[in-house]
Amino acid sequence: MGKNVLDINDGNFEQQVLKSDQTFLLDFSATWCGPCKAITPVVDKLADEGVGRYRVGKLDIDDSPGVARQFGIRGVPTLIVFRNGKEAGRHVGASPNVRDALAKLLVD
């Protein structure tokens, strides 16, 4: 995990994500998920680029099934942008344009 990517779990989700004063990109993933591993460099780079403008975190759906269930995560990777404690956008999968799609969600 990149140095600017927070480790999010069922215990700290509300405080770190929902109560964040900045836009938050949360990457729902799993250790066994190949596509999740494929987009990790993209997520890490977005986290590095967003310091001071938005925050980025990663949540393992196997370790934190409560939050995954709460947001209806049915497949990984699923990336959700939160603003003011509410879901503001969602991207599912590791498409070739994932970086552009996430960048768009972060500025909309």
Q: How large is the average pLDDT for residues 60-71? A: 97
Digit-coded pLDDT (tens) for 90-99:
999 999 999 9
Which domains are seen in the chain, by residue range? 5-107 (3.40.30.10)
What DSSP string describes the chain?
Answer: --TTEEEE-TTTHIIIIIT-SSEEEEEEE-TT-HHHHHHHHHHHHHHHHTTTTEEEEEEETTT-HHHHHHTT--SSSEEEEEETTEEEEEEES--TTHHHHHHHHHH-
Q: How large is the average pLDDT for residues 46-62? A: 97
- pTM for the complete prediction? 0.96
State residue 1's pLDDT score. 81
Among all residues, which ones are annotated catalytic?
A: 33, 36
Residue 32: band (very low, low, confident or very high) from pLDDT cuts 50, 70, 90: very high
Q: How large is the average pLDDT for residues 69-75? A: 97
